[in-house]
Structure 1
Amino acid sequence: MNNAPYLIPASAVVAEEEIKKSRFITYLAHTPGIENAKAFVAEIKAKHADARHNCWAFVAGRPEDSMSWGFSDDGEPSGTAGKPILAQLTGSGVGEITAVVTRYYGGIRLGTGGLVKAYGGGVQQALTQLVTNEKAITVQFTVSCEYPHIALIESILASHNAVQVNTEFSHNVVMTVEVDARNADQIAEEIVNRSRGQVSIAGLNNNQ
């Protein structure tokens, strides 16, 4: 599993241009997961039901995870729309993103090369306007300890910017913490070592 952070869209983008009397409108949106990506495509298709084509592509997860990619030419000649759109998205290094390019036909054929340039170019232009955030990959695990160890654990968690999601107090203390996945094993090891093994960790897979 890749624990490195990646970029995701901070907000939606709409870009429009006219090429040989055809109107192209490019939409970019943050869509975490394939279901959200498909829902966004359906939303734009419904909004522009009168358009000749609503071509699209998505990268619904990590940028490099091809299992989360999808695309469609939506009636344009094969390979002239969906693939050029997807190529721009995968080349951007941004994840959880969907692009839909709506085309209102203007009566002048663009040819296959012209279509590739129009669809790919529209997404390329929209991407220049895109603002992104970094998505950190986090994991949760539980820490069980006696009351005297609370201060030590909270100090270690604070030094690593870890978040206490939940704390239960009974005969002992059970904390659920959320940490950057890249540092999870190191934080857990530090807690165990500094408590001289008197604190137990659960829910952390070493194959993260």
Structure 2
Amino acid sequence: MPLSLLHPVTSDLTIKKSRFIGCVQPVADRAAAQVVVARLRAEHPGAAHVCWALLAGGQSAAHDDGEPGGTAGRPMLEVLRHQDLEGVLATVVRYFGGVKLGADGLVRAYTDAVAQALLNAPKIPLVRTLHRTCRLPYALEGLARRELQQAGATLHQAEHDAVVQLSFSLPEPAWPALRARLEEAGQGALQWVEPPVAPA
């Protein structure tokens, strides 16, 4: 099961006079990650590089920010992948100390900055939330609401027309059992709406 982070955690390494300030933190998507990177650039105007790697929403990205290609962002991304993380941004701010590290030295430095931060990072299981919508006769509404509550689902909308339409979300692991119980109770009278109605 993929893991995410509870809150941001930092590291601070000095290697051959260069300072590497690492941070790993939870983010929702690439747009949120870019806001964080822009803020870091503003907070560290004297830094030589602000490199980053992202795993979020099924997407990955890595940016070397002027370091030789493949020596910063990609190694940082591999550390995140190795830890089975999702919804996580790794950043490393580098202040150049005047001594060149070479490609291998850079890879090690950026990898270590992220790995050190992750050593102290509290990880939490990442549970996907599913959104579902169903239509059912009025006679089944009470039973359906009880089943949703028992499954830990959140009811977002109930519309009453010729039939009742319920829109809800729930943790992915609870979905198969809830679906089976509702379909059995509905005996063919319950219909799933695709695509589901997203909560407002």
TM-score if structure 2 supplies the norm length? 0.85
Q: In the alignment, is residue 159 of structure 1 matched against residue 150 of structure 2?
A: yes
Count of paired positions:
196
CA deviation profile, 1:132-179 (whole Å, cap 9, x unmatched): 232322222223333332232123223322221222345543221223
**CA–CA distance in 2 between the matches of 1:192 and 1:57?**
43
Partner of 2:32: 36
- Please, which of 49, 53, 56 is the counterpart of residue 52 of structure 2? 56
Partner of 1:14: 10
Moved more, 12-21 or 174-183: 174-183
Distance 1:204 1:52, change over 3 A: closer
Q: Percent identity?
A: 30
Distance 1:21 1:175, change over 3 A: same
Partner of 1:139: 130
Unaligned runs of 5+ in 1: 63-67
Q: CA RMSD in A?
A: 2.2
* Equivalent residue letter for 2:71: T
* Equivalent residue letter for 1:118: A
Q: In the alignment, is residue 71 of structure 1 matched against residue 62 of structure 2?
A: yes
Counterpart secondary structure, 1:166? strand
CA deviation profile, 1:70-122 (whole Å, cap 9, x unmatched): 21222222222122111111111111111111111122222222211111111
* Equivalent residue letter for 2:165: V
**CA–CA distance in 2 between the matches of 1:202 and 1:77?**
50
Unaligned runs of 5+ in 2: none
Moved more, 185-194 or 35-44: 185-194
**CA–CA distance in 1 between the matches of 2:179 and 2:56?**
31
* Equivalent residue letter for 1:97: V
Shift of 1:25: 0.4
- Please, which of 89, 97, 106 is the counterpart of residue 97 of structure 2? 106
* Equivalent residue letter for 2:26: H
Please say if residues 188 and 201 of structure 1, whose CA atoms lie closer than 8 Å, have aligned partners that are also in contact. no
Any residues of structure 2 matched to 1:165-176 within 5 Å, and which?
Answer: 165-170=156-161, 172-176=163-167
Partner of 2:74: 83
* Equivalent residue letter for 1:132: K
Any residues of structure 2 matched to 1:113-128 within 5 Å, and which?
Answer: 113-128=104-119
Shift of 1:6: 2.6
* Equivalent residue letter for 2:154: V
Counterpart secondary structure, 2:42? helix
Shift of 1:204: 5.9
* Equivalent residue letter for 1:20: K
Q: In the alignment, is residue 188 of structure 1 matched against residue 179 of structure 2?
A: yes
Counterpart secondary structure, 1:74? coil
